[in-house]
Structure 1
Amino acid sequence: MFSIRTFWNDLRINKTMLLVSLVLFVIGIIAGIWLAAPLGQYLESQLEQLRGVTEKLQQSNNVELSYFIFIFFNNVIKSILIIYLGVFLGIIPVIFLVMNGMMIGFLVYSRSMEGVDVFTLVVKGLLPHGIIEIPAILIAAAYGLKFGKLMLDSITTWDSAARYRLKTERRQFIRSTITASFWIVIMLIVAAGIESTITYWLVRS
């Protein structure tokens, strides 16, 4: 059930929603750049909250461990919630993807306007852990979107045979979310480890 092959096969089955997740995330990034002026104050306030958390973590006795614990649990809780809150017709995963994309787009754009080298920001601050963290989040959101689609199909399908097939598909899908959750957690452990050490050291340097 938890084999990497099972997970990979499930991803192949869910590849359409993975693509949708990626598109929504990219739309969010573009929106974060284009709407930097009208939404800048709100997005900056979100970044300010994150800075506040960062400052508190830096006061701990073991900064790297504190970062790891915070990043890991923050990402895992959000990712698992996004999968299962997709039951509400996939609305929450859509919002989550667009908002996270907007935060990244706005961060890169606003810092470039302040004279920060974008290439250095991306390579040092986003790329090391983002290579694993972003795909994990996109996968979680894709499962949430799939859950939403299945629920929407259940609402709009009246044929008894089709409804039975949907019931079977829904049961299989819910089983697949357990496998997905396991591997997403593994990916986020690695991402948190990188972000709390390599990314942290690179940014400080």
Structure 2
Amino acid sequence: MNPVVVVHGGGASHISKDRKERVRQGIIRAATVGYNILREGGSAVDAVESAVAVLEDDPEFNAGCGSVLNVNGEVEMDASIMNGKDLSAGAVSAVRCVANPIKLARLVMEKTPHCFLTDQGAAKFAAAMGVPEVPGKQLVTERNIKRLEKEKHEKDAQKLDCQKSRRHCPIETREPRRQSAVFQSPHLKKNKQIVENECKSRF
């Protein structure tokens, strides 16, 4: 049986023309690495870990050094892996200073009784396992810095538009509504009476 490796490069709805070929080549590299491991008798877990690590090392992908930034301009990464033979699994989240979260996820699967470590717990585990720590800035790309700045600018513009709309909205000049019982309007009173009459006729 010939081995098969399927690599998904991300869920972006649009990729610019200048990036499209680089992304395609990155996917091919990841799939090739995984395929070669299987062809040489390696395990599926080995193939998955290595293929994902290729994506994490490529700044074109939203993984590892290409991860999108949080609101503070930092990289926080997640990764998970599973062994289909025994259904063991490992995952990490909110990892900041690890180049390859997929390798850390595998260590969680194989070296702990847990299946999920996050943030500081994951960082302490990585240190205990001797996983090299990389500077957070090393994982930040110029493209994602510009992306975050654009998103913040758009959000600020939306807030400004909303504030302008509120200043001109007649609803803002109305008196606050009084708190009242649910069945205060004539329409609701009528509906309430219909329900009560129906209940009386049935019970």
**TM-score for the superposition, normalised by structure 2:** 0.26
Instruction: Find the structure with the greater CA-based Rg.
Output: 2
Higher relative contact order (CA 8 A, sep 6+): 1
Query: Greater helix percent: which structure?
Result: 1
Query: Greater strand percent: which structure?
Result: 2
